[in-house]
Chains A and B, each alone.
Chain A
Amino acid sequence: MNNEILLLFGCGLLLMMLGVYMLVLYRNLIRLIIGVEVVAKGVTLLFLAAGLFRQDIAFIQSLIVTFIIVETVLAAVMLALVVGVHRIYGSLDIRLLSKLKG
């Protein structure tokens, strides 16, 4: 069982790293949102690992369901913003969003 938990943990972390890689390097806004979703998938796996570790699947299920709803609303808002960017810039390239330098 411990091995399975570590495996879940490992895959979750891997997906999170992959997602952050996408967020750092990619330019197309839609791909960036896919990156956020990939990170979320990784987090879901980590949730599962934590729940198995504590042997309380019911509890962690509730957290996962809530997290999925957060993820969905976030995705919807992000995609709405992307459509907004498209309207103004006519492009989905994040390099164009460089007017403000931070």
Chain B
Amino acid sequence: MESYIGWILLVPPIAVLLMPWASRLGGWAANTLAVVAAGLPLVFTLRLIPAAGSGLTYELFGAHFALDGVSLLFLVVVNAVAFACMVYATSYVAHLGGRGKFFALLLVMVFGLNAMLLTRDLFSLYLFLEVASIASYVLVAFGLEQDGIESAVKYLLLSAVATSLVLVGILLVYMTAGTLEFAPLAAALAGAGGPVPGLLLLAAALFIAGFGLKAAVMPFHAWLPDAHPSAPAPISAMLSGVVIKVAGVYALVRVFFGILPEIGEVRTVFLALGTLSMIAGAVLAYFQRDFKRMLAYSSISQIGYILIGLGLGNLLGLVGALFHVFNHALFKSLLFLNSGAVQYRLGTRDIEQMGGLETRMPVTGATSVFGTLSIAGVPPFNGFWSKLFIIMGALAAGQAAIATLAILVSVFTLGYFLIIQRKVFFGHLNEKWRDIREAPAAMSLAVILLAAACLLTGVFFHSVTRGIVEPAAVILLGGK
């Protein structure tokens, strides 16, 4: 069982090393290598689900990695979405060129994220975060056209500052505790119950700013609405669905629920920033004409929900937040991949020019409906349950105002997403698009998998929550 962790970590980098040869053999070889390299970690992750409770560890030439419920949840998210995106990319990358390099960089990003989740050392966490980030900078600019390069530059500059802040925070923690590994840190920082030392408060602020930027929490969100639309569709899906969760939310969770001692103000900050993101993200999304840009703002809004759940601190809130991480990754990546398919066939992202597409692209249309219903929180799709838990958690914690706002924003989200769906897929077919075809098979397969996952996770939400989410939430609760 332990060796599974090793496979999860090492299969992507080994594939990266083999990729140049596979490319030379031909597109089919590169495709196969990429899909296998993304699929194997997923298989191993799924097989690890029953065993996560027993605290598995893995050692690689002296490097220590470990798995617990929280890591496992995020691992499933990363590898499931990465697999779908990789399958999708086998078709999509055709019009980008540089097939092998794209797969290699995407695999590097997957490695960085997986390693982030499996390490138990704060500096290694930072290092793997940088590995994934650098891969993502290049991938955003991969199309080598104006939009991509411009947003990659802005993303990179902002992100570089953010990771510097995180690094300073890490140094402050090191100076206070003398170690960088999670378990000894938690013990060293637990303190005697007195006031939290100033250094740790400063470190906490730096972590919120730095990881908050990676999570695209307001007011640190500015890079996301540019980067996500301009990137190639599978990269947008990975960024919005996975990277902001792992690099941002997971890091925040590890630091604030497992390392730093309980700081009451942090709870309040989470609630405040979460509510701000939830509302502002939804409102700004409403005004967008570019479909992918709207999805990007919507991601900011959904991250707000997650942050609220974390800030509430009770079991319901935490379960809701973690479950929403899982669900949002599934339906957001689904929506981004579909928007990519539409753009692939139509050549535009402007909603106003679309209409009636479901007659020409039935699979894309149907799966988009799945995604829309999920994000709007309509039962029995998965989004309904995670939002419900967060709202219930808010009520349980006495935060009736937040609960009400969450419900209102949900209804609002449902509203504008349905409007978009109608505009893009239903209604009168714009003459221009009379002859377009459905998206290529690989792309359709990927979105069908994700759509099925959304439905199944929703219908079987009890098993999913019991099996994966609750164990993780309990760990977070117990850490205080």
Which residues does A use to contact B, with CB under 8 Å?
16, 20, 23, 29, 32, 36, 39-40, 43, 46-47, 50, 53-54, 56, 63, 66-67, 70, 73-74, 77-78, 81-82, 84-85, 88-89, 94, 97, 99-102
Contacts and interface: CB of A to CB of B under 8 A. Distances in A.
B137 to A, nearest CB: 6
B149 A85 contact: yes
Interface string B374-410: 0000000000000000000000000000000000000
B350 to A, nearest CB: 15
Interface in B23-71: none
B436 interface: no
Contact of B154 (A70, A84, A97): A97
Contacts of B123: 63, 66
Given A97-B150, A102-B225, 17 more contacts: A23-B157, A39-B160, A40-B164, A50-B175, A53-B175, A54-B175, A54-B178, A74-B130, A74-B134, A81-B137, A81-B141, A81-B156, A85-B150, A88-B149, A97-B153, A99-B150, A100-B230
A102 B154 contact: yes
A77 B134 contact: yes
A46 B153 CA distance: 26
Contacts of A67: 167
Given A70-B127, A100-B150, A84 B164 contact: no
A70 B130 contact: yes
Q: Which of B123, B130, B171, B226 has the most CB of A within 10 A?
A: B171
A77 B145 contact: no
Given A23-B161, A46-B171, A74-B160, A84 B151 contact: no
Contacts of B167: 43, 67
B419 interface: no
A48 to B, nearest CB: 10
A36 B151 contact: no
B164 A43 contact: yes
Contacts of A97: 150, 153-154
12 contacts: A23-B157, A43-B167, A46-B171, A50-B172, A77-B156, A78-B156, A81-B149, A81-B156, A82-B153, A100-B151, A100-B225, A102-B225
Contacts of B346: none
Contacts, number: 82
Contacts of B127: 66, 70
A77 B138 contact: yes
A20 B161 contact: yes
Contacts of B172: 50
Interface in B123-180: 123, 127, 130, 134, 137-138, 141, 144-147, 149-154, 156-157, 160-161, 164, 167-168, 171-172, 174-175, 178
A84 B178 contact: no
A88 B317 CA distance: 47
Interface in B225-260: 225-226, 230
Contact of B160 (A36, A94, A99): A36
Contacts of A46: 168, 171
Interface core residue of B152, B160, B164, B226 (most chain A CB under 10 Å) = B160
B336 interface: no
Interface residues of B, number: 34
Contacts of A66: 123, 127
A29 B153 contact: yes
A73 B167 CA distance: 17
Contacts of B141: 81, 84
Nearest to B150: A97
B207 interface: no
B222 interface: yes
A97 B154 CA distance: 9
A81 B147 CA distance: 12
Contacts of B137: 77, 81
Nearest to A76: B134
Contacts of A29: 153
B171 A47 contact: yes
B223 interface: yes
Contacts of B175: 50, 53-54
Contacts of A36: 157, 160-161
Closest 9 CB pairs of A and B: A100-B226, A102-B222, A97-B150, A50-B171, A84-B149, A70-B130, A36-B160, A50-B175, A53-B175
Contacts of B225: 100, 102
A45 B220 CA distance: 26
B420 to A, nearest CB: 20
B306 to A, nearest CB: 22
A28 B174 CA distance: 36
B176 to A, nearest CB: 10
A39 B230 contact: no
A99 B161 contact: no
Contacts of A77: 134, 137-138, 156
B153 to A, nearest CB: 6
Nearest to A73: B134
